[in-house]
Amino acid sequence: MADMINVKLDVTKLDKDRFFIGKKGTYCDLVMIPTPSSDYGSWGLVQKSTKEERDSGLKMPFVGNADYAGERQEGSGQQNFAGSQASQRPMAETISTTPSDLAADDIPF
């Protein structure tokens, strides 16, 4: 069985100008950056930047974090971060959004 990863994303920090319409919905590209010494998770999440933005030195703000869900599979060669603070914190609330919600002029956050 594959390892599962929990992701916590602060949607209010997302730049909606970077959203794009795909075949099955509205999307936003994110990048996971390893942060093994962080109290907030094994990875930090940022919105993807273009090559030109990276070349100019633009640093995208962190918009969330990610961590392993439960125990890591034995022999995976990865460290177990299941005990970090990020994996212990409950989510404040769950937000349900449909593609039709995102099709409106204003994003609801």
Q: Is residue 34 part of a domain?
A: yes
109 belongs to a structural domain = no
The two tokens of residue 102 are 């995102």
DSSP string, 42-70: SEEEEE---HHHHHTT--PPEEEEEEE-S
**At residue 99, does pLDDT exceed 70?**
no
pLDDT in tens, 15-38: 999 999 999 999 999 998 888 888
How many domains are there within the chain? 1
Flag whether 11 is in a domain. Answer: yes
Expressed as residue numbers, the domain containing 12 is 5-102
- In-domain check, residue 32: yes
Q: Does a structural domain hold residue 14?
A: yes
- Residue-wise pLDDT for 44-75, tens only, equals 888 898 899 989 998 888 899 988 887 655 55
pTM of the model as a whole: 0.57
